[in-house]
Amino acid sequence: MLFCRSYVARVPRIFRARFVSTLTFIETTADGKISPSTFNNLAAAKRISNSNTALILGSNASKVAEQFNNLGSSLGLEKILILENAKLDHSLPEYVAPILKNVLETGKFTHFIMQNSNVGKNILPRLGALMNCQPISDVVDIQDPKTFKRPMYAGNILATVVSEQKINLLSVRSSSFKSIDVNNDGTPSEKITIETIPYNDGDSKAVTIEWEFADLMDNTGRPDLVSAKNVISGGIALKDKTTFDELLEPLADALNAGIGGTRAAVDSGLCDNSLQIGQTGKIIAPDLYIAIGISGAIQHLAGMKNAKTVVAINKDADAPIFKASDYGLKGDLFEIVPQLTAKLREMKK
């Protein structure tokens, strides 16, 4: 991996930390709950400043805000800003970006954090254009309030970016930051101040006509790919969608795992493209990653190489995936996977 570094600000870190204030955008689930990746994003915010504020938008904003008051004392939040409006439920950037601009400029924040998710990728460029700021995307490490690390060229280069901007707009790779362990000391959190902000979408001319949702496997109650501790992933060797589902779903249920796939599996219709793992898909870092029938193309490896333990199942002994694996099973996946699933079920009894 190549490493590049640019000029580092001369102001000592201990002094810089006193003048920064961070706003973190809180993503929520469809049923109005805090997204699991939120606690990774808040951990990133704490790396920057001890003065942290959260922002929640949408029709369930007040309910989500109250959920924070039932958690442990380690969140590090001073205030929660909310704006309840059903128009903001789907985080349409035409509506959200002007609101964020107004909050950031009037609140005297120095940093804004979003997850490097589809929501973040949609909103942050528009927000940057409105504020005439250069966003720093896919941050994997925060060294100090001005110095950030982000991968480039599918992770082949790790760039150290030093920003002298008045406001830093960041999207963070949630899996790169250890989640805050809420309720870790059993101490109830002090009541966090909740403040309602005015609605101002900058007179957006965008009109939402209709929303149509795909029937995704993630809606079955399995963990989200980005936050899942265990992930089962399938490749083109699984042949068709029926086989993909019949082999992977029971194994995923046995491990309480999320399900993903390669670009080739998505292109062949084996799974939805929202489940794609790789350079052009989702970037994950689970505790356990099981690659089934996956050859190990570099684009796919870029999405899962931060997994703590990688297990590969493939009949091709020369498949590149084995070089990136901690454990490898050479053999017929159609025999190995059912046996593995049965053994895990037996162990759970």
Annotated binding site for FAD: 262-263, 276-280, 293-300, 314
- Distance separating alpha carbons of residues 91 and 282, to the nearest angstrom: 19
- Distance separating alpha carbons of residues 188 and 186, to the nearest angstrom: 6
Answer yes or no: are the C-beta atoms of 142 and 44 closer than 8 Å.
Answer: yes
Q: Is 334 exposed, middle or buried (0-12, 13-18, 19+ CB in 10 A)?
A: middle
DSSP annotation of 166? S
Answer yes or no: are the C-beta atoms of 145 and 50 closer than 8 Å.
Answer: no
- Distance separating alpha carbons of residues 232 and 275, to the nearest angstrom: 11
Mode of pairing for the β-strands spanning 193-196 and 230-234: unpaired
Structure token pair of residue 178: 């250890």
Known binding residues: 262-263, 276-280, 293-300, 314
Count of C-beta atoms within a 10 Å radius of residue 79: 15
Answer yes or no: are the C-beta atoms of 68 and 189 closer than 8 Å.
Answer: yes
Q: Is 26 exposed, middle or buried (0-12, 13-18, 19+ CB in 10 A)?
A: buried
In DSSP terms, which residues pair with 260 in a beta bridge? 233
Structure token pair of residue 221: 């109650």
Helices (H), the chain: 13-16, 38-48, 61-68, 93-106, 118-131, 241-255, 263-267, 298-304, 333-348
Count of C-beta atoms within a 10 Å radius of residue 215: 7
CA 284 from centre of chain: 8
Q: Collapse the DSSP code of 290 into the 3-class scheme (helix H, G, I; strand E, B; otherwise coil) and give the result.
A: strand
